[in-house]
Amino acid sequence: MLRLIFWAALRLVAVMLLASFAGALLMRAAPGFSSDDQELNSGLSAASIEAIRQARLADANIPVFYAHYIAALMRGDLGTSRSLNQPVKQLLKERLPVTLMNLAFALAVGWLMGLALALAARTWNLRPLRFLAEGLSGTFISTPAAALALVFLVFRLPPALAAALLIFPKIYRYSDNLLQQSSDLPHVLAARARGAGPVRVMAWHVAPIAFPQVIALVGVSISIAIGVLLPIEVVSDVAGIGQLAWQSSQSRDLPLLVNLTMVVKFVTVCATLISDAAQRGLMRRAA
Amino acid sequence: MKLARSIAVFVLAIAALMVLGAKYLAPAGYENQFRETPQAKPSSAHWLGTDDLGRDRWSRMLYGMRVSLVLAPLAALLTTFLAGFVGGIAGYCGGWTERFCKILIDLFLSVPWLFLLITVRAALPLNISPPASVAVTFALLGMLGWAASARIICTGTKDLMRSEFVWMARASGFSGIKLVRLHLLPNLRGALFAQFWISIPVFIIAEANLGALGLGVAEPLPSLGSLLRELQDAVTLRPEPWRFLPLAVLIVVISAFQVLLNKQEVRV
């Protein structure tokens, strides 16, 4: 068990470091990296503009920048955002809770809707219910996150609900497929043949088999949710890390983008590792 | 389900006809401005009205569909090629090559796809010519979307490499390109085709997301994504229903792809 945790933690750290390094390389290669908007500010003196240029040049050598970044990270210093002129730690402290709240809401509602519809549709197999579930999931799986955010803005609906509606089709479709596979197993058919009711069959025979596999989707759903929250936060002007990532990319803010990549990687990889471990545990218990 | 598939095929056929016949169906070019009638309501002259610059919305939608529906399959082709290349090499070579490729795949997969796409596109120049913006947008889609498919191809190649007929072929002296051409590629064709088909709607949606954020195809060239930017005006002005038509078209086309996709997945 300890060995597993050790390797998982090692993998997490390696992926995070590699990803943030790749992010830094990308920003360095991006056109316009060496120039700064502030250089056009006529109110700044020549010395200030030169200082800004020197600061930019300090980031130009990516291995050196990254070595300094890691050394500072060890001391708990995440650096300072060039575009917003604030410590990255402070920015993350302000923005992360907003995104996490939206993420939690979106995941809770998305999972609730997806699972409830899949369970209801498979338990009673009613045509109108299936039509409703398929129609809703088909519509939202085909809707771009940014467009849905705009529609939600028009009708003044909460942006987190848009994220929930975009997550729900994945949950519904995956759960529905698993429930269908479990429903076709011989012991389930035998239970039905002996007169067990639909709710009993679902609760005692189908759901317990499908549930451990559904858990595997938790990690993926978190990754999807983070992905859809970025355009939603940008369009709806929500001050979360999605909007921050957008701003940092546009202003080629290297320290901020590297840290944001780290945070996003940490959340998604942790979620995947935890859901994988939970799935393995549940499968072992079921066996 | 048969009815749903028939409807999906019909929808895609209509979309293909609209794309191919855009030149004849559109009453004006996508960049033609009717300066005396900006923001016009739908009429017999302009079926969907005109935008802020007086351009005919119906024409722009037809040409926008052409850009999205022609280039998304090209991006899907690129991503399938990359997935086949990386996944195939990983599965064929095994050992350290496989481990290296898997780290690369994990690296791409551990960042949410949309997050990666938007941050990378935002980092690239935005003040480029419309044809260049089309090339950059769809090349980016193709180059960033291969990781999940590569993992599937890698598994498929590894399974094939362990199969008896491949052992037999190797024992008979087949190796390298001949083995890939005669035994691996024909057997991976189904998986590659499925990955190609799956990527098309994903890329159309991704382009729409980029377009709605102003990072997609540059003006005056339209795409289904860039047409969604007009919805931003609907937020500040009154929500006129015809502004939502490009979104409705997008949803219908993607839904048609999704319906057919289910069949493809089952078949492969």
% of chain A with per-residue pLDDT over 90: 37
Q: Which of B256, B264, B266 is nearest to B7 (CA)?
A: B256
Question: Which pair of tokens denotes residue A248?
Answer: 């940092």
B212–A contact, CB cutoff 8 A: yes
The residue written with tokens 């020197």 in the block is A54
Check CB contact under 8 Å for A147 and B201: no
Q: What is the pLDDT of residue B239?
A: 63
Categorise residue A32: left if φ over 0, alpha if ψ from -120 to 50, beta otherwise: left
C-alpha dihedral (A236, A242, A267, A119), degrees to nearest 10: 30
Q: What is the pLDDT of residue A37?
A: 62
Q: Chain B closest CA to A234's CA: distance in Å?
A: 8
C-alpha gyration radius of chain A: 24
Which among B111, B239, B250 has the least Cβ separation from residue A265? B111
Q: Which of A55, A99, A100, A74 is nearest to A255 (CA)?
A: A55
Check CB contact under 8 Å for A22 and B114: no
pTM for the structure as a whole:
0.86
End-to-end CA distance of chain B: 18
pLDDT tens for residues B125-137? 777 888 888 888 8
Sign of the alpha-carbon torsion through A90, A41, A34, B145 = positive
Q: What is the pLDDT of residue B217?
A: 86
Could you say which residues of chain A have pLDDT below 70?
Answer: 1, 27, 30-40, 55-60, 287
Q: Which of A174, A179, A178, A168 is nearest to A137 (CA)?
A: A168
Sign of the alpha-carbon torsion through B231, B235, B240, B244 = positive
Could you say which residues of chain B have pLDDT below 50?
Answer: 264-268
Query: How many CB pairs (< 8 A) connect A and B?
Result: 131
Q: What is the pLDDT of residue A62?
A: 76
Q: How far is CA A216 from the centre of its chain?
A: 15
C-alpha gyration radius of chain B: 22
Map B63-98 to HEC letters: HHHHHHHHHHHHHHHHHHHHHHHHHHHHHHHCHHHH
Q: Chain B closest CA to A278's CA: distance in Å?
A: 19
Backbone angles phi, psi at B140, to 5 degrees: -65, -45
pLDDT tens for residues A228-239? 998 999 999 999
Cα–Cα distance for residue pair A94/A260, rounded to 1 Å: 13
Categorise residue B65: left if φ over 0, alpha if ψ from -120 to 50, beta otherwise: alpha
Q: What is the pLDDT of residue A40?
A: 66
Helix extents (H) in chain B: 2-20, 22-25, 57-93, 95-109, 113-123, 130-144, 147-162, 164-171, 176-179, 185-212, 224-227, 230-236, 245-267
pLDDT tens for residues A110-142? 999 999 999 999 998 888 999 899 899 999 999
